[in-house]
Chain A
Amino acid sequence: MTDFDTTNPPRRDDLVQRIELMEAMIAEGRCTTMRYGWIFLMWGLLYYAAIGWQMYLPAGKFAWPVLMVLGVVIIQIWRWRALRSGRNHESPRSRSIGAVWGTVGCAFFLYMGAAAASHHIQSPAVNATVMFFLGLAHAISAVILRWRVQGAVAAIWFAGGMAMFFAPYPASLIIFLVASFFGMVLFGLYTMMLERQRAASLVQHHA
């Protein structure tokens, strides 16, 4: 990168390039969630795995607790490795988003634990609440990042949560599977694709 040449007047192309650079960097700073695309994908796949195990494999009652704990362990290992490698960037924005997902995750575990212990786990209201938990976390992230795509994902979870109250089993299961596909699997893949594209454009920009 070169510095400003004070002896010559600025050229239009150069100034336009500066504006493009600023836009790219501001967007880069804003889209904190996009570095975590794989986490959404992983949780989406774990939901599918848990449902599959619960329905078709022995010891189905352990499916959800085991796979949810596995998800948390994987994320903690990833965070620990990021800390060790010095790539654990924290900004107020990323801290806010981390706080949202962390607290929603804790609330989710406590809520599901209590629901399972009291045999309310099959209740449509419980499933609806879980979907509202996820919608809430997505919605807050969307507001922090000013990212409409994530706002749309939040809307999917909210709509699914509302539909849960009116849908008897197995329709409720299908609603959850569809919401998981769009709200976790597809969203995760999309954010990973954006992350790769941005990394490529960044390399091009600095080449």
Chain B
Amino acid sequence: MPEVLPELDPVVHGKLRLALLSLLVGVGEADFTWLRDKTGSTDGNLGAQMLKLEEAGYVAMQKRFSGRKPQTLYRMTPAGRKALATYVASLKRLLNGAL
């Protein structure tokens, strides 16, 4: 019986979203400006991708003030960590012979 290819979560698989989740898994939480600088994306694109991650429940957003400046802070949720771990496991399976 042929092996069934593991499915890759399309929310995680998007390059920018994958980059964002990978950054967040390393630092725990980060603000919008930092994420934009690290990924080299535009404000609009980053905002749209973060919204998708938020809708999937993979990140949580919090708005606060740093001095007088508004700051948008993103934190990875347990569901986001689990999704990334599952994604990595699926990638490994695909690369170890399934493809």
A residues within 8 A CB of B19? 1, 21-22, 25
B residues within 8 A CB of A29? 22-27, 30, 38
Please pick, from B18, B30, B41, B95, the residue contacting A22 in the complex, using a CB distance under 8 A: B18
| Known interface pairs A29-B22, A29-B23; A89-B15 also in contact (CB < 8 Å) | no
| Known interface pairs A4-B13, A6-B10, A87-B37; A18-B27 also in contact (CB < 8 Å) | no
Q: CB distance B14 to A1 under 8 Å? A: yes
User: Which A1-48 residues sit within 8 Å CB-CB of chain B?
Assistant: 1-4, 6, 9-12, 15-16, 18-19, 21-22, 24-30, 32
- Would you call A86 an interface residue if the criterion is a C-beta within 8 Å of the partner chain's C-beta atoms? yes
A residues within 8 A CB of B39? 25, 206
| Known interface pairs A1-B19, A206-B40; A91-B13 also in contact (CB < 8 Å) | no
Number of A-B residue pairs, CB cutoff 8 Å, is 108
User: Which A171-207 residues sit within 8 Å CB-CB of chain B?
Assistant: 202-203, 205-206
Q: CB distance A89 to B30 under 8 Å? A: yes
How far is it, in angstroms, between the C-alpha of A86 and the C-alpha of B31 when the chains are bound?
Answer: 9
- Would you call B78 an interface residue if the criterion is a C-beta within 8 Å of the partner chain's C-beta atoms? no
User: What is the predominant secondary structure among interface residues of chain B facing chain A?
Assistant: helix
Closest residue of B by beta carbon distance from A23 = B22
A residues within 8 A CB of B25? 26, 29
- Would you call A83 an interface residue if the criterion is a C-beta within 8 Å of the partner chain's C-beta atoms? yes
A residues within 8 A CB of B10? 3-4, 6
B residues within 8 A CB of A22? 18-19, 22, 88
B residues within 8 A CB of A27? 26
Closest residue of A by beta carbon distance from B67 = A83
How does the 8 Å CB contact mask read for A55-96 relative to B, with 1 for contact and 0 for none? 000000000000000000000000000011011111111100
B residues within 8 A CB of A26? 22-23, 25-26
User: Which B17-65 residues sit within 8 Å CB-CB of chain A?
Assistant: 18-20, 22-31, 33-34, 37-41, 45
List 20 extra interface pairs beyond A4-B13, A28-B38, CB under 8 A.
A1-B41, A1-B45, A4-B14, A9-B5, A10-B8, A12-B99, A16-B95, A25-B26, A25-B38, A29-B23, A29-B24, A84-B69, A87-B33, A87-B37, A89-B30, A90-B31, A91-B28, A92-B28, A93-B27, A94-B27
